[in-house]
Amino acid sequence: MMRDSVASTTVASIGYDEPTQTLEVEFNTGSVYQYYNVTAFLYDQLMQAPSKGQFLNTNIKNAYPYSRVG
């Protein structure tokens, strides 16, 4: 999945696949996670959030199924 680099102290890049509603996040540690059933609206909110890490912690982590893929 293609990811876009983002300005964040914890997140390196973010990608999204709308047909499968899969959000892919690469953290600055090098770990890559996919979060499932994430709506395009929520993805748009994440990309507009001033703090990507805080938005992930508040709205996505522990709220959506996920797996580590890298």
pLDDT in tens, 20-33: 999 999 999 999 99
Region of 62 on the Ramachandran plot (φ > 0 left; ψ -120 to 50 alpha; else beta): left
What pLDDT is attached to residue 9?
94
Alpha-carbon span 44 to 48, nearest angstrom: 6
What pLDDT is attached to residue 59?
98
Instruction: Calculate the alpha carbon distances from 8 to 18, 19, 36, 44 in Å.
Output: 23, 26, 22, 16
- What is the chain's mean pLDDT, rounded? 97
Q: What is the mean pLDDT of residues 9-17?
A: 97
37-69 pLDDT, tens digit each? 999 999 999 999 999 999 999 999 999 999 999
- ∠ CA 54-16-55 to the nearest 5 degrees? 10
